[in-house]
Each structure stands twice: as structure tokens, then as C-alpha cells.
Amino acid sequence: MILALFFFSLMYINLEMDYFHHNYYKATTVRKIIIVTLLLFIVSKSIFSQGKIIKHTVPARVEKDGKSEEWIDGLILGGLIRFRPEMKNNYNFDKSQNENVNFSGQKIQFYIHHDFSKDLEAKITFQDTRVWGGERGSMSTTNTANDTTRQATDIRESWLTAKKLFDMPLHVKMGRQIMVYGDERLVGALDWTNVGRSFDGVKFMLEEKYFSTHIWGMIIGENNSDIAGNTTALGNKNQYNAKFNCPPEGSIGCKIVPDAPEREFGDSYFTGLYNTIKLSNVLHVDLYYLGLQKKILQANNAILLQSGNLGTPESRSGRMDILNTYGIRITNKTQPGRTSKQEFDYSVEYVIQSGTTGANIKPSWDLLNTQVEGFDPLTGKNYRTNYYKEKVRYDTYAYAIDAGYKFDMIRFGVGYDVGSGDPNRKDGSVATFQNLFHTNHIWYGLADQVSWVNMVSKSVNLTFYTKSKGTFRMDYYIVDKHKRQDGWYEVSGALRSGISTESISNNKYDSSSLLSDKGSENNRPVSMLGNNLFREIDFLYSIEYKSINWVFGYSLIFAGDSIKNQVDDSTKSSTAYLRKNFSGTAEFGYIMVIYAF
């Protein structure tokens, strides 16, 4: 049976990595047949082998291990209430923008967890998240109830787990579930945020004493709806309206262009194979593969006909974006809460990524820029395109080292994190690391200024533990760019365009300076690009009082030359440069109140 499951797993991963390149729809059909067949076989075997059928009605008493027990046995109810006011000051480091933000977030959870038998359990977690005063009723009337357009209540978890399939240590977990692996650098719960993260799909778990293997397939984007009105919010096309683009002062006429689409990807899947080798209770080795496959939506035909700029072969429309991530993690933090039995603790992780973005560009070796002319039947216009094509491929890496030593009630720790950047974002290689489904708040500073993307982070921390007076921690970070030409990527992994010096192409040797009202923009040579993003000092204090966990956090962020040189851009005209809008210090603070029951 192990061989059968392994065979199915290999078929599934091969479909995701290779077959998608050739025929997406056939691959989708075959994949669904494999998944449905396997699930029906396993689940039916697990349920009916118990000699009974689960009914819709709840009995007052059930048979469990040959004994009559109340149905309520094995039922666990619980929840969480969390409030967190936050303050952010000068995050753009520009005194002309008055970037001051404050708000209060709230998260409330209630869950039902039931063990129907030793081999069958289920859990449902209801969650309500909101920002105080964020509902329309709070502003328009005295009614503070949520308005009908912004409901904040949802299902965070809803899953069923069948254990010991075929009398083996093999389990299957189906439904909406939270996934946490390793140090949460690539797959995490993101519980720092109000909403958090969940996945919809199926996960198989093989648990042995000296190793464990988890295989999953999660659906993170679905275009199609069922026939009973349970519709998807995504749709099959990138639907967006036309708009008029009118240059200032009426120098040229207005043009009809597509309004900026909110979403580029459609059917999307997250697959994984995560293995943990348990060499001892102080040494675990993780080996894993993570696959992210996203179908790029077809362009809106109406906009295509009006603008004529989306039908060329260079467009990614209708293609697949496939990202493969391979990693290894070695650690002695084998205890709950990522702690170690030893005084010295460590975790080392190394990751590489490959795949294709779905885009085709002119190859770098085609110095003659060989082109041919084509005809677009949708627009009725001719276009010129390169005869030779080169697929844009992912070629990234990242690594992280976290270590510490605890003596008595004090722990001293250090961290070193690198996420690769791209020196040339116009060539056929994407070297910017893709941070996937992370929980970055744990590792790169309380203020959430950066992700594991185009960065080199060096940090030290000191933690004081007390028995009754709480825990106090201080951190100091120095965060630089890995490649100066690449941008600054915020905690979500999105590019913070225009806030740090960057160059979209590798303009390594040019020493010229193009003066204009916009500065030299993408033409900056490397010699004019800053390296340091910021330095950050964090203070964190937590204490339990009256069964409530109170957490106080404060951060000071000091901008580096990469930000300063952009805000006060020396390549702009002298009038713009003399304005000196740079303000080099930002602040972040919060108070968090948590009660779990």
C-alpha cells in the first residue's frame, strides 16, 4: 500500500511540474480523476471497515471501543479573544507625506473539536475579524452593526481527519486547515495578522517514530462554479472595465486602455511533499518540495478589441506560472514551540527555486533582434514580434541561520538571513526569491518592514525570562539589499516601488546621471544605488495577568542610504533635490490583549 501511495504521489507531482507545460486542461482532468479515485477508496475503506455507517442524526450514546459512552465524550469547545491597537509613524520616511497610521484590530474565534473515535476526528473554527469603527454603520448612524457589504465572519478551519488507514500510521486530513511547517518561513499560519491563513484541500500524513511524510494538494484559486448557485468569486476571465487615459494639459488625445486588473491568476494549486527525519530528540532534518502552479487568466476580449495591446505572443495570457521550491532544514529545536532540550539551540535552512513564469522574451543571444510580422485577428492589426523566444525562468535561492544559547533565565541569540535579489529584471531569469506562504513577523522585526526577498538581515537578540514578572526581549536588525538593482519588498513580498533606489536593468558600468523632474529612474548605474535599507531596534514585553496575556511592543526604524537617496534623489533637478524631504526615523508600537479559553 505504501508503494501505491508513493506511485500516486509521484504521478501527482509530475503532473504539476511537467504536464502543465504541455496541456493544462488535460492535466487538470487527469489530476482530478486521480485525487477523487484515491480519496473515495481511502475514505470508504476507513469508514466502512469499522462495520458501521455514520448517520446524520447524533445519537445520545455511542459504542466506543466496545463500551457505551455519552456522545459528548471527546468533545472540546474553546476559543480566543484578541484586541490589538497599533501605531505606525513615518513608514515612507518622507516628511512631506505625513504617513501616520493608527487603528485597533480585533479577532474572535470559537471552535468545536470532536473525537468521534480514536481514528476519526473533526474540527470547525468560526472566526470574526474586524477593525474597530471600520463598518459603515459606525460613521453614518448610531448603528455599529456590520454593514451588508463587508462581512468579517468566516470559517478559519473546517476539517475531518481519518487516522490509521489500512491499519497503518497513515492519516488523511480533508477540508479547510491551517498548515505550519519548519520555522514558518515558507508555510505558516500568519496568526500575527487579524485574519490569518488557511488552505482548502487534502493532506496525507505518514507518521513513524523516526520519520514523517506529509503530502498535500491545496486549491488556492478556482474559476469554475457548481450548477446549484454556489459560485466562485473569481470567474474565468480577468474582468475589468475600460478607462480613458488622458495626458496632462491635453498635449495628445485620450486613449482607451484597460483599467488596472485586481487579479492576474485563475486556477491555482499549492502542492507539497514534506519529510522529517528524526535522527534523535535533539536532531531533525527536513527535506521538502513545494509546488505553486497558477494559471494566468485570459484577457478580457472587450478590452482587447478596444486597446489592441493584449493579444501579442509576448502576453502571458492563458499560460501557466509554475514555481518549484526545494529545501533542507536542520535543527535541534524539536520540542513544542520550536524549543530545544539543549542550552544551545539552532536552525539552518537552505532553499532553491526553479520553474517558469509563463512569459517569453527576446533571448539575450539574439543580438540582431530578429523579428517577424504577424496579424492579430481580434484587433485587425499587424504587429511585430521576435522570431526567437526565451522562456523566463525562476532561478532563486535563500538561506537562514538562527542560533542561541540559554543560561539560567537569559537567552542570547543571533540570526543571519539571505533572500536572493535580481540584478536585471529585464532578462530571462527571475532571481528574486519568492517567499510563498510565510509568517515573516517571527524573523525580520516587529515592524514588518521586509520579507525574505532581496535582503541580507543580520540580527542579535536578548531575552530575559522571569517566573512571575513576564518576559522581556530586545532585538537589533541591520537589513541590506542583496542586489542593489532590485527593489525593496515589504512583509507580504510585494514590491515597494519608488521608495528605495533601484534599477530595473543591470546598468553596472554607466556613470552618467540623467537629470529630469522624475530623476534617472530605471537608468541609475550601480554606483548611485544605496545598499542599506534600515536598522531596527525592537522592545517586547509580555506577561500573563488575570488569565489574560498582555503584550507590549515598540520599534524604532532608522532608514539607510537606499531609502535616503531615493527620497532626496540626487539625479533630480537642483530645485527638487534641495527640498530635502527625507526623515530618517520611523516608529511602530502596539498593545495586544489575548484571552484563550
Q: How far is CA 171 from CA 2, 163, 566, in A?
A: 12, 4, 53
28 with 267: CB under 8 angstroms? yes
Distance (Å, whole) CA 135 – CA 141: 11
463 with 472: CB under 8 angstroms? yes
Consecutive H or E run containing 591: strand 585-596
What is the CA 184 to chain-centroid distance, rounded?
A: 10
CB atoms within 10 A of CB 231: 10
Q: What is the pLDDT along the chain (597 residues), one digit of tens a residue?
A: 443 444 344 444 444 444 444 444 444 444 444 444 444 444 444 433 433 333 333 444 445 555 545 667 789 999 999 999 999 999 989 888 777 899 999 999 999 999 998 899 999 999 999 999 887 665 544 444 444 445 578 899 999 999 999 989 999 999 999 999 999 999 999 999 999 999 999 999 999 999 999 999 999 988 877 776 666 766 555 545 555 566 555 445 666 555 544 456 778 999 999 999 999 999 999 999 999 999 887 655 444 444 444 445 556 767 889 999 999 999 999 999 899 999 999 999 999 999 999 888 888 888 888 888 877 666 677 777 777 888 899 999 999 999 999 998 999 999 999 999 999 888 889 999 999 999 999 999 999 999 999 999 999 999 999 988 999 999 999 999 999 999 999 998 889 888 888 887 776 655 555 444 444 455 677 777 899 999 999 999 999 999 999 999 999 999 999 999 888 876 655 554 556 788 899 999 999 999 999
DSSP state of 501: -
Distance (Å, whole) CA 439 – CA 183: 9
Q: At what angle do helices 24-48 and 2-14 cross, to 10 degrees?
A: 160
219-228 b/e (C-beta count within 10 Å ≥ 16 → b): ebbebeeeee
Distance (Å, whole) CA 525 – CA 510: 5
Q: Which residue is listed with cell 515573516?
A: 440
Consecutive H or E run containing 28: helix 24-48
Q: How far is CA 389 from CA 38, 308, 395, 495, 559, in A?
A: 40, 21, 18, 27, 41
Torsion of CA 301, 306, 308, 314, to 10 degrees: -40
Cα angle value 486/389/356 (rounded, 5°): 55
Encode 117-185 in three state secondary structure.
ECCEEEEEEEEEEEECCCCHHHHHCCCCCCCCCCCCEEEEEEEEEECCHHHCCEEEEEEEECCCCCCCC
513 with 542: CB under 8 angstroms? no
What is the maximum span of the chain, computed from C-alpha positions, in angstroms?
87
9 with 38: CB under 8 angstroms? no
Distance (Å, whole) CA 69 – CA 78: 22
Consecutive H or E run containing 406: strand 390-407
